[in-house]
């Protein structure tokens, strides 16, 4: 079954990414105040080939990837999944199946990934810079696998007026089954290239990318996250920001949030409108719960993405498709 998002959705997202990241790009290139218009300039075939070469060589840096690769144990005592809440909801609405899980896995269909990109090249005569802003849009099909250790049983059909509804038990029955939820997600990202000595090179990175599933309107709204290694704390905000790290701004490598090898970082808290949600974190192939004890060790220098996933809690105990939001924030780890 093909779960790929239609091309038109990617095109719309690409346009949206251009609007969001483009504002930051304009601020970086033009600056404040009224400036004379720049002369028209169009990259030639060599420029286009050079830009494409840089993008292709760095695709892994701009792709979204927090798949676990196997079923991993997860905390069963999630907010909103207590037995007291379950019993109340099952009494109030017994017309839907519910389950409890203790393992989880994200599976992305990598052969169906669709990373689209376009660029806007600009000649900045004031600084004698030739730069290129690249906008990325990505469709991510896949499934979330949840291993249920108990679930409510179907009992019978119940006729209410003209409707026939499925009626489920108000008690859990022990099972061992895997529930799959379709992932149909889209992301946006960006970067700025600069032409130096006749060659195009990566210059600035977007503070982070965002994944929505299935659409921005369906996904939770996250405003900021707070990351700390204990003595130092950094804030990542949704909007462009000149004081903190705005996800929609561009940064040179040494301007990114920087920690050192040997540090252990953690997400202290989130600011979000969805309070009844499960928050998970992924870093360098590992998944972490939202606990003070779950600290993320930094063992090697390089550019890393910290993925912050927010899933409405009902997604994890009711049937239906995957709904969620994921930020990936760039972190620079140095010796």
Alpha-carbon torsion (166, 167, 172, 173), positive or negative: negative
Which strand (E) or helix (H) includes residue 171? strand 163-196
Cα 115 from Cα 44, distance rounded (Å):
24
Residue burial 6-35, b: 16+ Cβ < 10 Å; e: rest: eeebbeebbebbbebbbebbeebbeeeeee
Spell out the per-residue pLDDT of the chain, length 335, in tens.
333 344 444 444 454 444 344 434 433 333 333 445 555 567 789 999 999 999 999 988 888 989 998 999 987 766 556 677 778 888 889 999 999 999 999 999 988 777 888 888 787 766 778 899 999 999 999 999 999 999 999 999 988 878 889 999 988 999 999 999 999 999 989 999 999 988 999 999 999 999 999 999 999 999 999 999 999 899 999 887 777 788 889 999 999 999 999 999 999 999 998 888 889 999 998 999 887 678 999 999 999 999 999 999 889 889 889 999 999 999 999 99
Structure token digits, residue 232: 């130092």
pTM for this prediction: 0.83
Closest by Cα among 288, 108, 182, 245 to 297: 288
Tell me 98's DSSP state. Answer: B
């Amino acid at each position: 079954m093909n779960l790929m998002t239609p091309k038109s959705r990617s095109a719309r997202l690409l346009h949206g990414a251009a609007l969001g990241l483009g504002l930051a790009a304009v601020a970086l290139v033009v600056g404040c105040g009224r400036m004379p218009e720049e002369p028209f300039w169009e990259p030639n075939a060599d420029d286009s080939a050079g830009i494409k070469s840089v993008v292709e060589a760095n695709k892994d840096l701009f792709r979204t990837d927090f798949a676990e690769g196997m079923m991993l144990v997860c905390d069963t005592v999630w907010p909103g999944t207590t037995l007291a809440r379950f019993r109340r909801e099952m009494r109030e609405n017994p017309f839907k199946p519910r389950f409890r899980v203790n393992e989880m896995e994200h599976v992305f269909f990598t052969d169906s990934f669709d990373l689209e990109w376009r660029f806007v090249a600009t000649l900045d005569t004031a600084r004698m810079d030739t730069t290129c802003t690249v906008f990325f849009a990505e469709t991510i099909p896949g499934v979330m696998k949840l291993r249920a250790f108990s679930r409510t049983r179907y009992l019978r059909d119940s006729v209410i007026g003209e409707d026939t509804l499925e009626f489920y038990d108000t008690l859990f029955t022990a099972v061992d089954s895997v529930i799959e939820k379709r992932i149909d997600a889209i992301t946006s990202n960006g970067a700025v290239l600069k032409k130096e000595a006749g060659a195009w090179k990566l210059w600035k990175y977007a503070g982070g990318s965002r994944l929505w599933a299935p659409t921005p309107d369906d996904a939770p709204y996250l405003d900021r996250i707070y990351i700390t290694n204990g003595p130092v704390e950094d804030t990542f905000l949704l909007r462009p920001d000149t004081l903190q790290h705005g996800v929609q701004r561009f940064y040179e490598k040494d301007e990114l949030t920087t920690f050192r090898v040997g540090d252990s970082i953690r997400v202290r808290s989130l600011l979000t409108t969805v309070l009844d949600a499960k928050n998970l974190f992924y870093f360098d192939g590992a998944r972490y719960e939202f606990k003070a004890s779950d600290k993320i060790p930094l063992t090697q220098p390089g550019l890393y993405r910290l993925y912050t996933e927010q899933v409405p809690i009902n997604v994890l105990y009711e049937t239906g498709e995957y709904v969620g939001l994921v930020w990936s924030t760039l972190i620079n780890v140095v010796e």
